[in-house]
Amino acid sequence: MKLGWDLRTALEWKITAWKSPEDPSPGDFSFRLNLYNYPEFYLMKGRVKYHRLGPWNGLYFSGATNQNPNQLYEIKYVVKNDSMYVMNEVEKFCFLTVKNSSAAAIVRVKITETSLQIQVWEEERQYWSIYTTIPGDRCDEYAVCGAYGNCRISQSPVCQCLEGFTPRSQQEWSTMDWSQGCVVNKSSSCEGDRFVKHPGLKVPETDHVDLYENIDLEECREKCLNNCYCVAYTNSDIRGGGKGCVHWYFELNDIRQFETGGQDLYIRMPALESDKSKTKDNLKKQLEDLDLRLFDLLTITTATNNFSLNNKIGQGGFGPVYKMAEMLHAVKRLSSSSGQGITEFVTEVKLIAKLQHRNLVKLLGFCIKRQEKILVYEYMVNGSLDSFVFDQIKGKFLDWPQRLDIIFGIARGLLYLHQDSRLRIIHRDLKASNILLDEKLNPKISDFGMARAFGGDQTEGNTNRVVGTYGYMAPEYAVDGLFSIKSDVFSFGILLLEIICGNKNRALCHGNQTLNLVGYAWTLWKEQNVLQLIDSNIMDSCVIQEVLRCIHVSLLCVQQYPEDRPTMTSQDNAIWKVYETSPHDLCDVCQCLEGFSPKSPQQWKVLDWRQGCVQPKPLSYKESYMDQFVNYLGLEVQDIAHTWMDENVGLEEYRNA
């Protein structure tokens, strides 16, 4: 039996009760999967929730700890993936299978107006006995104790507020009406907050959560701590000591306490006063040695008109950006909901303070006051690159020579980070919105909150905490958390394609296929129709050989495997040929001559043309009447090292010779 969704066709598999024992038409009650970020099953009457089974934690559904292995059947939850689709998750479902296929008829699932039952047929008694029922008791009723209320069936009354919380309405609570739930005793200021561990729980409803499958519990905690809107976290998979991460936002509903089993849930609580002072002291110690100006908060709020919308010039991944009046400064105000906290803030300050290059944005100073964390940069008059290349009107102001200069500038900045700076820096979030343009449209790489620094000869690392922007992430980083200078090269390749075509790396239609920008570019390249990629705004100003070379470079940069990509640091690779070789002198877009085919079709497909082409049929030589000559017009004469010449012989005589 299969329950869930086919995400490609929006087909749903669910159980629906009959209207009555005599009427098999669909009734109001159903058992179905809700497609949250962390999906879970509900028993519902129409749209009213009666019971929540909880999300799958790798072993069982969180609200069904009694679903232990048995001799009759097993239940599993499955997510099927397909890389050919833009959203690669194509099916989410659970299935119930009978272990003894010869006895398949002895187990059935039945849904009534009050419960879902797994029943077993007893042959001797000729009777369906109930093996499992949900909901099984009062605590299985949906959200019976309200927000932050914990239902424990072994105590009386069954509902108690979680530690650190009190009833929202003491009067209602005393009458055993727990629907209004509980509230925290002391409001949180975010800074210095802590987490309290609550073991053995059915985890709260997952309608407002984020799921991070590649993050361990420690990084899960850190990421939640650095986001003031994150109220709780736990592992998404409890197998093998736990892995994956779930973050909850808003109120926590439908919690129950199990006597055995259950999961650990870590709930955010306000900081102790001593913790707050320690956090501030540690932050100041890490930044006190930097040669940067410490801005006063009053100066910044005055210059930005109290962070007014009129002064807002952009929105970064970590918060809004404002212009300071009468000063060529830009202020990035860390948003409490951004996910960047003390760790990323200190990282960005430390890294940028030590980096000096004309294609990197310059950090002028910072401000730390109360809950405010602010970075002050040099002001970029023309804003970010994405506001030009993805806008049909503003895109007209960037002709091809200007776009090529921007490409070169980004590459120079990346070369500095990878090779010439004191520490080797991997940016990890290179994208169009993080490229700023000054008054002369010179590009400057910005936003180093995700960056990692390497010393010595180290060029790669790994992490369970994958950060950055999907669409720009290299496959090995997005899937396995492996990052290196080749990860940035991949992002550079995506950025190159976007600058050339004026489109974001998102779903594009080609025939009956839906492809992302990279897939679209590869398809056009193989069809020898790559000129379709070029932004109409630059068609009149571009040099075709230059554009083709840049497309070639971009496709080399987005190779699936990092070892197949060039680096920014090798002087003999394809990226630097863009700089050092005249486009009219180097032909790096190869096709076989008419009548010839690639010697290695596999290498040819990945733009490695070094093995060249061959004739499908060898020349006869001895039987000259079987051979013929084909006239190719407009070619550059090949290497003449193995030729002979006679000025006294005409072309026809040469042919016959």
Cα atoms in the 13 Å half-sphere on the side-chain side of 122:
7
Tokens of 498: 């976007």
Counting every residue written for the chain, the total comes to 657
Q: Where are the alpha helices (DSSP H) in 129-266?
A: 170-174, 217-225
Question: Is-contact 225 193, C-beta < 8 A?
Answer: yes
Residues paired with 365 in a beta bridge: 293, 376
DSSP 8-class letter at 339: S
**Quick one: CA dihedral 545, 550, 555, 557, positive or negative?**
positive
Q: Which of 162, 163, 166 is nearest to 174 (CA)?
A: 166
DSSP 8-class letter at 637: P
Phi–psi pair at 139, nearest 5 degrees = -70, -10
Dist CA 377 CA 357 (whole Å): 14
* Given 140, 210, 429, 447, the catalytic residue: 429
Give the list of residues 6+ apart from residue 229 with CB closer than 8 angstroms, or none.
249, 336, 337
Q: Which of 158, 167, 164, 162 is nearest to 137 (CA)?
A: 158
Dist CA 95 CA 77 (whole Å): 7
651: buried, middle or exposed (CB in 10 Å: 19+, 13-18, 0-12)? Answer: exposed
Whether residue 6 lies in the annotated active site? no
The H or E element containing residue 356 is none
Give the list of residues 6+ apart from residue 236 with CB closer than 8 angstroms, or none.
38, 55, 57, 58, 211, 212, 213, 243, 244, 245, 246
Active-site amino acid positions: 429
